[in-house]
């Protein structure tokens, strides 16, 4: 959802901000804007609803060459996506009979819950609101505090916390209820940006004589080699050369400056037409990365560095709850099959949006895993907080380093899949499944799984990247299958056992990016309703590799064929029985049942991708969707 970029240094800020906003486009947005200072220190704003290209043309037409500025991509919550509601918002009040003098501009991510009350108070003091957003209240509130801070006489001190601009921001923050990632640019202060975070991420990129501020690290790639993750309740006072951090309760804190391991290539297309296709093809490598350093052949188990639980706590676990949203929830379902089969631990999978309000009885030995690519999904975060509040250990399976969920969980496991920019999740899904397989191995070996079984499990995992690479070779064939079915208006996706969650995921991929209605079902359940949809125009995608339930799925496939439904089968190499029955067959290499979800996901991702491209859809930025959903 919304994105923030800011710059203070020596280069032309507007260009860097537009480039940074482009890298944040993947989060989803409906308007964009920026503010810089002119030669006289006055604030100049350009903003426009719609795609970033509109803002770019405004910037090309005219914008000062300032070396300081802030920018934003907005995903509307309060107020429609219009030019006026786009950020930045200006703070300033007209004294009676005078024009408004704007003292500052802000960009804001998050939601201000008490904005109505604050707005009424500010209006009573003469502030005129120009937008319907909750964010504008923050701009006027800081202006109001600044007027008071300046009126009491600026204290001349080296301590930035004492400067009226910082005092004003901190006083305003104290009045806000809700969440914010906030960046403030002040008129007449070409050397100062103030950033603040509560519940909405902000990072600072540290360069030589320049600083970058952003809502995630992607705008920093290629520009800064060091990064600081702001924590909740921190305010950063940023000039081109200095970075001071003040914590609401702890006072001044030393920034923890980490190396930024993200290159410009990581956030570029690398010759692919879309990020989604690039990310699909990265999977042999991202799967390897998810396993790297985590397999111990000697002990025939998995090794994790960041669970932060004592052996006694781990031994005590008697139930696991897996939660997440969207694709991450599908990975959780795969995890349920894996952990129950190999660790013999009862697993419950719950949508995070339901778990947070359901108040289920949970006993002491329950361990929660929040599964999330972004680490920012509001519902997943709320579910994690709820279980944490009740005293349960909470762990995250997460891709984005330094994200809110990664920070708030007691411990966790990173996917190390690199930035996932296509809105429809692909490589994160397979990495999540790999990490869940590692957990099944780990808990299995803590309990009853034998050394030999552990070794065999590891050997199978180690073959996985090659199997995925082989599955990707079907890309040209899948494109031709996509040509054939691109005009269908409904698809069914059917699979059993380990392949049932993949059927759900395949259907979700198609819905998300091609806008075709699709449903995933356990193959046998199809006869309890969805079979009524079957006709010669409704294709069914069958996941039917050789394995424990192969014969059963063949029966289900025959039931569809008997009703003249076209069948696309994802099957094992050389399966003549399937070839006789199905209209189209996409072969995937053989894998043990428990790893099939990862291999089978590949053709489904490619099928959705090609159908969407053939239908002219914007696959990386599908309509109405956001990459990380930071509102409830
Ligand atoms: C959004 C995205 C989905 C994603 C879901 C959960 O809806 O569009 O692709 O699966 O959020 O995101 P997370 O970052 O928590 O995995």
Q: Which two tokens stand for residue 415?
A: 């996917």
Ligand 1 pocket: which of 26, 28, 215, 377 to mutate (most atoms within 8 A of CB)? 377
Annotated catalytic sites, by residue? 2, 627
Which residues are 377's β-sheet partners? none
38-85 per-position pLDDT tens digit: 999 999 999 999 999 999 999 988 899 999 999 999 988 888 889 999
What atom in ligand 1 is closest to the CA of residue 428?
Answer: 16
326 in ligand 1 pocket by Cβ < 6 Å?
yes
Q: Whose CA is nearest to atom 3 of ligand 1?
A: 326
* Cα 417 to averaged position of ligand 1 atoms, centre (Å): 15
Residue 405 Cα: closest atom of ligand 1? 15
Ligand 1 and 630: CB distance under 6 A:
no
- Residues near 404 by beta carbon (within 8 Å), at least 6 away in sequence: 199, 200, 201, 375, 376, 381
Helices (H) and strands (E) in the chain, counts: 19, 27
Q: Which atom of ligand 1 is nearest to the CA of 512?
A: 8
* Whether the CB of 628 sits within 6 Å of ligand 1: yes
Instruction: Output the pLDDT for position 159.
Output: 72
Report CA-CA distances (Å) from 335 to 310, 397, 550.
Answer: 22, 12, 21
| Other beta carbons within 10 Å of 613 | 20
d(CA 246, CA 181): 15
Q: What is the dihedral of CA 464, 470, 472, 474, to 10 degrees?
A: -140
pLDDT band at 26 (very low <50, low <70, confident <90, very high): confident
Going from the C-alpha of 270 to that of each of 97, 274, 279, 580, 624, the distances in angstroms are 57, 9, 10, 40, 26
**Is 327 near ligand 1, meaning CB less than 6 Å away?**
yes
Residue 512 has pLDDT above 80, yes or no: yes
356 CA distance to ligand 1 middle (Å): 17
Nearest Cα residue to atom 8 of ligand 1: 627
Question: Does residue 431 line the site of ligand 1, with CB under 6 A?
Answer: no
| pLDDT value of position 94 | 65
Closest CA to 77 of 21, 4, 135, 137: 135
Residue 507 pLDDT exceeds 60 = yes
The residue ranges of DSSP E strands in 288-408, in sequence order, are: 295-296, 301-302, 319-324, 347-351, 366-372, 394-398
249-291 residue pLDDT tens = 888 999 999 999 888 888 889 899 999 999 999 999 999 999 9
- The answer for residues whose C-beta is within 8 angstroms of residue 153's C-beta and 6 or more apart is none
pLDDT category, 174, cuts 50, 70, 90? very high
pLDDT the model gives residue 537: 95
Counting ligand 1 atoms within 8 A of each CB, the residue from 328, 426, 435 with the most, and so the one to mutate, is: 328
Does pLDDT of 527 surpass 80? yes
Beta bridge partners, 227, equal: 205, 258
For residues 442 and 296, what is the distance between their CA atoms, to the nearest angstrom?
Answer: 10
Alpha helices (H) along 563-621: 576-581, 596-614
Lowest-pLDDT range, 14-18, 345-349, 390-394, 580-584? 390-394
Per-residue pLDDT tens digits for 318-363? 999 999 999 999 999 999 999 999 999 999 999 999 998 888 888 8
Detail the DSSP E strand segments found in 379-511.
394-398, 411-414, 490-495
Looking at residue 99, its pLDDT comes to 61
What is the CA(423)–ligand 1 centre distance, in A?
A: 8
Q: Whose CA is nearest to atom 5 of ligand 1?
A: 326
Which residues are within 8 A (CB) of 290 and not within 5 positions of it... i.e. 6 or more apart? Answer: 415, 416, 417, 431, 434, 435, 438
Token pair recorded at residue 252: 């001044």
| pLDDT recorded at residue 265 | 85
Confidence of residue 98 (pLDDT cuts 50, 70, 90): low
How big is the chain by its Cα radius of gyration, in Å? 26
425 lines ligand 1 (CB under 6 A): yes
Dist. CA 524 → ligand 1 center (Å): 28
**425 C-alpha to center of ligand 1: Å?**
7
pLDDT score at 567: 97
- Distance CA(260)–CA(570), nearest Å, equals 40
**What is the pLDDT, as a whole number, of residue 261?**
84
Residue 466: pLDDT band with limits 50, 70, 90: very high
Ligand 1 mean position to 403 CA, how many Å?
14
């Amino acid at each position: 959802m919304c994105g923030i970029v800011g710059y203070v240094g020596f280069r032309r800020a507007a260009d860097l901000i537009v480039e940074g906003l482009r890298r944040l486009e993947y989060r989803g947005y409906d308007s964009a804007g920026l503010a810089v200072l002119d030669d006289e220190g006055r604030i100049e704003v350009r903003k426009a609803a719609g795609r970033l290209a509109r803002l770019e043309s405004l910037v090309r037409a005219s914008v000062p060459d300032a070396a300081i500025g802030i920018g934003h991509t907005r995903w509307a919550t309060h107020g429609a996506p219009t030019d006026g509601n786009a950020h930045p918002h200006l703070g300033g009040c007209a004294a009676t009979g005078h024009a408004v003098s704007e003292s500052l501009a802000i960009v804001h991510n998050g939601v201000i819950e008490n904005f109505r009350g604050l707005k009424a108070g500010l209006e009573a003091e003469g502030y005129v609101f120009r937008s319907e957003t909750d964010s504008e209240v923050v701009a006027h509130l800081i202006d109001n505090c600044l007027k008071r801070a300046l009126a009491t006489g600026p204290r001349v001190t080296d301590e930035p916390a004492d400067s009226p601009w910082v005092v004003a921001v901190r006083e305003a923050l104290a009045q806000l209820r809700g969440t914010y990632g906030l960046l403030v640019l002040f008129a007449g202060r070409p050397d100062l940006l103030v950033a603040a975070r509560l519940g909405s991420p902000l990072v600072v990129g540290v360069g030589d004589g320049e600083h970058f501020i952003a809502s995630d690290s992607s705008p920093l790639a290629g520009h800064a080699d060091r990064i600081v993750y702001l924590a909740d309740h921190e305010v950063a006072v940023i000039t081109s050369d200095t970075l001071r951090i003040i914590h609401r309760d702890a006072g001044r804190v030393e920034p923890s400056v980490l190396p930024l391991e993200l290159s410009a290539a990581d956030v570029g297309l690398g010759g692919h037409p879309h990020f989604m296709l690039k990310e699909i093809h990265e999977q042999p490598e991202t799967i390897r990365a998810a396993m790297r350093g985590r397999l111990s052949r000697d002990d025939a188990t998995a090794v994790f560095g960041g669970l932060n639980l004592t052996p006694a706590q781990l031994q005590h676990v008697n139930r696991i709850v897996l939660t997440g949203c969207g694709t991450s929830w599908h990975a959780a379902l795969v995890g349920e099959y894996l952990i129950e089969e190999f660790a013999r631990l009862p697993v419950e999978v719950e949508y995070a949006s339901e778990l947070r309000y359901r108040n289920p009885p949970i006993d002491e030995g329950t361990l929660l895993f929040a599964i999330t690519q972004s680490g920012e999904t509001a519902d997943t975060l709320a579910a994690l907080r709820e279980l944490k509040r009740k005293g349960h250990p909470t762990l995250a399976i997460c891709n984005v380093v330094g994200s809110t969920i990664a920070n708030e969980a007691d411990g966790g496991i990173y996917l190390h899949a690199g930035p996932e920019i296509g809105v429809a999740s692909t490589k994160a899904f397979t990495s999540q499944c790999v990490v869940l397989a590692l957990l099944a191995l780990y808990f299995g070996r803590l309990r009853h799984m034998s050394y030999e079984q552990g070794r065999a499990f590891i050997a199978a995992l180690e073959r996985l990247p090659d199997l995925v690479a082989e599955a990707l070779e079907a890309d040209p064939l899948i494109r031709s299958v996509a040509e054939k079915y691109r005009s269908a208006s409904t698809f069914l996706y059917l699979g059993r056992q380990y392949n049932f969650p993949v059927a759900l995921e395949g259907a979700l991929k198609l819905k998300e990016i091609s806008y075709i209605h699709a449903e995933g079902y356990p193959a046998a359940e199809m006869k309890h309703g969805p079979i009524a949809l079957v006709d010669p125009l409704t294709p069914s995608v069958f996941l039917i590799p050789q394995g424990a339930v192969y014969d059963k799925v063949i029966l289900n496939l025959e039931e569809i064929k008997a009703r003249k439904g076209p069948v696309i089968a994802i099957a094992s190499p050389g399966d003549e029985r399937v070839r006789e029955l199905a209209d189209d067959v996409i072969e995937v290499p053989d894998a043990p049942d428990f790893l099939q979800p990862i291999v089978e996901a590949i053709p489904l991702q490619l099928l959705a991708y090609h159908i969407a491209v053939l239908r002219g859809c914007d696959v990386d930025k599908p309509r109405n969707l956001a990459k990380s959903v930071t509102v409830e």
